[in-house]
Amino acid sequence: MIVARELLGKIVVRTWNEHLLSGVISETEAYLGETDTASHASRGRTPRTQTMYGPPGRAYVYLVYGMFNMFNVVTEPEGVASAVLIRGLQPLQGHEVMRELRKSGKGLTDGPGKLCQALAIDRTLNGIDLTAGQPLWIEDRNIKPGPIYSGPRIGIDYAGDHDRLAERRFWIEKG
């Protein structure tokens, strides 16, 4: 929750094939823990959710719908399965390469699946340390906060009423 808001305005940086790709985080979603029926962690500890239970500051990357990767940041200490899904970025550097990586569609980094394509993020990056630089990390340049909006999360109709309606999606003004 707190981290989801704090991540807004921070920079995701990715190095790929000698290229530097980056963008400002503009939309996030918080997935709280085993009690959050919208979270993968609600099914307990499984092979896939391992990294969510691991130390914070790592990447939790998984595949949905058989074709899209989702990029999350693990937030709580080891043992607690909490993560923040990165849903949107405002591209900063590497527009050309991002376009190339995405090939089809219009948006570049608006949407969790799209941004993973644009930044060449897949499950091979699952579990990596996001505070250790290459090949993927998060930077805190001091970007002015601006107003933060919130609303219910997307694509979680399977969750129980409480979690489905809870406002755990956050975003800032679009570019």
Which residues are near DNA by CB under 7 A?
A: 29, 31, 38-41, 43-44, 46-49, 52, 60, 62-68, 70, 72, 83, 85, 102, 104-107, 111-115, 153-156, 158
Q: How far is the CB of 157 from DNA (least distance, A)?
A: 7
Rank residues 145 and 151 by Cβ distance to DNA and give the closer one. Answer: 151
The residue type at 48: R
Cis peptide before 147 (omega within 30 of 0): no
Q: How far is the CB of 142 from DNA (least distance, A)?
A: 27
Nearest to 60 by CA among 108, 134, 116, 21: 116
Rank residues 94 and 111 by Cβ distance to DNA and give the closer one. Answer: 111
The residue type at 123: R
Nearest to 23 by CA among 116, 125, 102, 134: 116
Q: How far is the CB of 23 from DNA (least distance, A)?
A: 14
